[in-house]
Amino acid sequence: MVGSGGGFYAWTLVGKRVAFTRVLERPGLFTKGGTYAEYCVTSATNCITLDDNVSFEQGASGVCNPLTALGLLERCKDRNAQAVIQTGAASQMGRMMIRLLAEENIPTINIVRKDDQVQMLKDKYAGPGLHVLNSESPTFEKDLKALARELNANVVLECVAGPIVGVISNCLPRNSTIVSYGQLSESKIEGISAFSVIGGGLKLEGFLLSNFLREKNIFQILSITKKARTLLGEVIINKEFGLHQIHEAMAEYKANMSKGKVLLKPSLTL
């Protein structure tokens, strides 16, 4: 932070390394004008100070996901989660949720789509509440149903969309909630039977970070951003490219999403 336009909190940030966004400068509006610029104006509450062990690179992709993870944790608690099922569990979001939910002693059923992701999560986040399933396994639905009933997994954090949502909805205990917060498959949500909504009490609801933050007052936002700092170390950077390598960078990210974030750096641009 190189300068402040006034106010005590902004003054405390001057000279500090920060991750930041420009979202919510005006309520609910995503602003243009680029956090990629050499200098950029934003509000102090859009900044998260970086601990010494967190790199600028981690900070660059570290605002949205940690804040979202904390918002989803709050939603899980609001919905009285006994256990949580999550899709896309090898993602950066998924890993943050595993950590946050374990801290609250809420068991997780983590759905991934490759065997090496199953192993990676089991190795890295081993604990009594951790369960990992591969959605490509022939016994996936049967295994999920058994586990969801056993743990009373009544909240689903869902970021893939497509037919898997219907499959999961068939495995849930009564009065469960599916929180849709992403669409990684780029498909519509499919396969939820009307009966599970009418008779089974299933609810489908959405989560969007900017809506979540808009409902918070300044003290709540400061408390959330303080906690978000502790998640920035979880951000994994896979590769870095110059702006001229945009196509290569996109291909790398699409082929290896679970390996971490891909950064575009003006400093690497030819």
Ligand X SMILES: NC(=O)c1ccc[n+]([C@@H]2O[C@H](COP(=O)([O-])OP(=O)(O)OC[C@H]3O[C@@H](n4cnc5c(N)ncnc54)[C@H](OP(=O)(O)O)[C@@H]3O)[C@@H](O)[C@H]2O)c1
Q: Which residues contribute to the site for ligand X (CB under 6 A)?
A: 64-65, 68, 88, 90-93, 113-114, 159-160, 181-182, 184-185, 207-209, 257-258
Q: How far is the CB of 6 from ligand X (least distance, A)?
A: 30
Least distance from C-beta 91 to ligand X, angstroms? 3
Closest distance between ligand X and the C-beta of residue 7, in Å?
A: 27
Tell me whether residue 177 or residue 258 sits nearer to ligand X (CB atom). 258
The residue whose Cβ lies closest to ligand X is: 182
Distance CA 218, CA 46 (A): 11
- Closer Cβ to ligand X, 90 or 133, answer by number: 90
> Is the distance from CB of 10 to CB of 44 less than 8 angstroms?
yes
Question: What is the smallest separation between the CB atom of 176 and ligand X, expressed in angstroms?
Answer: 19
Helix (H, G, I), strand (E, B) or coil at 95: helix
Q: What are phi and psi of 153, to 5 degrees?
A: -75, 95
Return the number of the residue (58 or 68) whose C-beta is nearest ligand X: 68
Quick one: angle between helices 92-103 and 64-78, nearest 10?
Answer: 40
Taking the complex as a whole, how short is the minimal distance between the CB of residue 160 and ligand X, in angstroms?
Answer: 4
Identity of the residue, 47 or 112, whose beta carbon is nearer to ligand X in the bound complex: 112
Handedness of CA 89, 90, 96, 100 (dihedral sign): positive
Q: Answer yes or no: are the C-beta atoms of 239 and 252 closer than 8 Å.
A: yes
d(CA 85, CA 41): 39
If the CB atoms of residues 75 and 173 are measured against ligand X, the closer one turns out to be 75
1 in Cβ contact with 14 (< 8 Å):
yes
Judged by beta carbon, residue 92 or residue 154, the one nearer ligand X is 92
What stretch of H or E contains 19?
strand 18-20
Rounded to a whole number of angstroms, the minimum distance from the CB of residue 174 to ligand X is 26
**Helical pair 92-103 and 115-124, crossing angle rounded to 10 deg:** 40
DSSP string, 23-59: TTSBTTBPPPS-TTSSS----GGGEEEPPTTS-HHHH
Task: State in angstroms the smallest separation of the CB of 180 from ligand X.
Answer: 8
| Eight-state DSSP code of residue 207 | -
Of 147 and 184, the one with the shorter C-beta distance to ligand X is 184
